[in-house]
Amino acid sequence: MAIRVSVRLHTVLRRKTPEGIVDRLEVDLPEGATVQALLEAAAIPLSGDALLLVVNGRIVKPEHVLAEGDQVRLVPAMSGG
């Protein structure tokens, strides 16, 4: 059985999707899929701590298992100096 999750892309990630410049995606995944699987399906690279993964308002790790209707936000980490 498949699940559908909503993904909000922030800042520079808007340009890193196969569809061009978009800031929202609806992604279908197999049941039991993780955030890492979502990133792979959406062709979004995850490099170290450079990306904040938020599901339903909570910060999660890439191995977090997603559920039907989850709201995912992908926020690039910012650094200042």
Q: Could you read off the pLDDT of 17-42 as tens digits, one per residue? A: 676 678 888 999 999 999 999 999 98
Whether this model's pTM surpasses 0.75: yes
Q: Where are the domains of the chain?
A: 2-76
How many C-beta neighbours within 10 Å does residue 3 have?
Answer: 17
- Alpha carbon 22 to chain centroid, angstroms: 13
Main-chain dihedrals φ then ψ at residue 15, nearest 5 degrees: -95, 0
Report the SS3 class of residue 37.
helix
Instruction: Supply the pLDDT for residue 15.
Output: 65
- Give me the pLDDT at residue 23, please: 87
Q: DSSP 3-state assignment of 79?
A: coil
Q: Do 54 and 73 touch, CB atoms closer than 8 A?
A: yes
Q: Which of 4-8, 19-23, 29-33, 59-63 has the lowest mean pLDDT?
A: 19-23
Which class does domain 2-76 fall in?
alpha beta
Q: What is the mean pLDDT of the chain?
A: 87
In DSSP terms, 24 is beta-bridged to 8
